[in-house]
Structure 1
Amino acid sequence: MSAAFDLSGRRALVTGSSRGIGRAIAAGLAEAGAALVLHGRDPDRLEATRADFAARFGEERITAAAFDVIDAEAVAAGIHRIEADAPPIDVLINNAGVQHREPLLDIALADWDRVIATNLTSAFLVGREVARGMVARGRGKIVNIASVQTDLARPTIGAYTASKGGIRNLTRAMTAEWAGDGVQVNAIAPGYIHTEMTQALVDDETFNGWILGRTPAGRWGTTDDIVGPAVFFSSSASDFVTGQVLFIDGGMTAVV
């Protein structure tokens, strides 16, 4: 591995990393040498992930933290606990997110608020708390997970689309305020990725056919497709890259 992409000596917090894209990113960062703080809402799944990673990458490099990413006090306390008796967080991947499928005319305000809070406000809360230390130290990497819905929309996912559009400009706002202090903030925008959460869509013959036809690469993405860009944005290879959104979508947003 090129030294520019080596994450040895860096500590990374990945929110929502007990499954799916977050878990794949966390594994990729560990393979590049990073120590990890895993995060999730389900204590049993989080512990199972921690144990698996500890066996693969070494007990000393893997820890786990469970806190509510939409509760400002819980976030502050969680980040304080993570950094209290251990190296500080050098890399933050804001990955926690939810989906809710319902037409805008029907969606309840509570469901709208839940999606916006989980997908967008959490990135602000966790990002701000971690950035306090990064700004003071004069270095750090933050990667926000966006989506093709940062640029595109389709029926029934209005709240998700709004939240991911917000991630683009949150990334820019963080860049405007923290780039001068040595903190690079970028976003990764996955296309349609085959995970356990999207399995029902893959199994839907009509929807699957639409995805394959709409994506120039002619396939669903995999979680492995997200790992390389995440390592790049987390490493010194991207030290002069900030405020950017990188679409990992097989060409979907490049064509009509």
Structure 2
Amino acid sequence: MTGRLQGERALVTGSTSNIGRAIAERFAAEGAHVIVSGRDVARGAEVVDGIRAAGGRADFVRADLDGSPGASRALAEQAAAALGGGIDVLVNNAGVYPPGTTATTDEQTFDRVYAVNVKAPFFLTAVVAPEMAAAGKGAIVNLGSWVARLAVPVGALYASTKGAMETLTRAWAAEFGPRGVRVNAISPGVILEPAPGEPHPGEVMMNGTPAGWLGKPRYIADAAVYLASGEASYLHGTVLDVDGGRTSTAVIAA
């Protein structure tokens, strides 16, 4: 790796698996000291051990981001302490996806999904961004989703939360950008890591796209490194589509 995040202190929420794990591992490989965060202590330890074995710096902070300001503040404070006093890069990745349609979604599910996907990152950013602004620099990367703009018949609740995060990205860029904090987002496409040789039903969703295949978590990690690094110093309020062309292009076979 090239050390593009050398010396940076990063917190990645929901980083014990999938996209979050890939981001944490890539950040560490690029020189950042990373806080791996999630609810599962065993999985968190596994990620941290892997990063350290590869020569990187990482620590685990357990967090159950339930949407309460207290939970978000506690994570921010514990992460900053473990990082030696501050957070330079925040990745708001933690989220939940409930299957189902609008008619089958009950109020408890609605409240939980908004609590985890919107309230938790909102209150975490409310703690971290002002501290970054006081230091005169920082980068926040939010995770949106392709379904926020290209609608599908299921998952309306989840899609609406990701639309909210993309809107918050622009609002926070306006609020904190003038004080040195860059806020951008990644909109992943269909990102899965299927077992070798086993087809996945999600593959059909990439038919007719330029890429033509399922995305991998490392593609999102690549984008996160870019947005967190100085290479993206002129980007504010941008939503970067990393979806194989799913939301922008249709390939019509002759």
Q: What TM-score comes out, normalization by structure 2 length?
A: 0.91
Is 1:66 aligned to 2:65, yes or no? Answer: no
Shift of 1:213: 1.2
Which of 224, 227, 236 is the equivalent residue of 1:233?
A: 227
Shift of 1:221: 0.5
SS at match of 2:174: helix
- Once structures 1 and 2 are overlaid, which stretch shifts more, 11-20 or 210-219? 210-219
Alpha carbon RMSD of aligned pairs, Å? 2.0
Distance in 2, Cα, partners of 1:47 & 1:88: 22
Instruction: Tell me which residue corresponds to 2:246.
Output: 252
Shift of 1:113: 1.5
Instruction: Tell me which residue corresponds to 1:215.
Output: 209
SS at match of 1:166: helix
Length, aligned pairs only: 247
Distance in 1, Cα, partners of 2:109 & 2:69: 19
Distance in 1, Cα, partners of 2:170 & 2:135: 21
Distance in 1, Cα, partners of 2:166 & 2:224: 16
User: Structure 2, unaligned stretches of length 5 or more?
Assistant: none
Instruction: Tell me which residue corresponds to 2:6.
Output: 8
Shift in alpha-carbon separation, 1:166–1:49, aligned structure 2, 3 A: same
Instruction: Tell me which residue corresponds to 1:82.
Output: 79
Instruction: Tell me which residue corresponds to 1:40.
Output: 38
Shift of 1:192: 0.2
CA deviations over 1:223-243 (Å, ceiling 9, x no partner): 111122111110111111110
1:136 aligned partner, one-letter code: A
Distance in 2, Cα, partners of 1:41 & 1:35: 20
Superposed structure 1 runs of 4+ greater than 6 Å apart: none
Q: Give identity over the alignment, percent.
A: 37
Is 1:146 aligned to 2:175, yes or no? Answer: no
SS at match of 1:104: coil
Shift in alpha-carbon separation, 1:189–1:202, aligned structure 2, 3 A: farther
- Once structures 1 and 2 are overlaid, which stretch shifts more, 102-111 or 182-191? 102-111
Shift of 1:222: 0.8
2:102 aligned partner, one-letter code: L
Matches within 5 A, 1:103-252: 103-195=101-193, 203-204=200-201, 207-208=202-203, 210-252=204-246
SS at match of 2:207: helix
Structure (1 or 2) with the greater helix fraction:
1
Shift of 1:220: 0.4
Shift of 1:48: 1.7
User: Structure 1, unaligned stretches of length 5 or more?
Assistant: none
Shift of 1:118: 1.3
Distance in 2, Cα, partners of 1:97 & 1:215: 26
8 Å Cα contact 1:150-1:167 kept in structure 2: no
- Once structures 1 and 2 are overlaid, which stretch shifts more, 119-128 or 15-24? 119-128
8 Å Cα contact 1:215-1:249 kept in structure 2: no
Shift of 1:202: 5.3
Q: What TM-score comes out, normalization by structure 1 length?
A: 0.90
- Once structures 1 and 2 are overlaid, which stretch shifts more, 46-55 or 182-191? 46-55
Shift of 1:26: 0.9
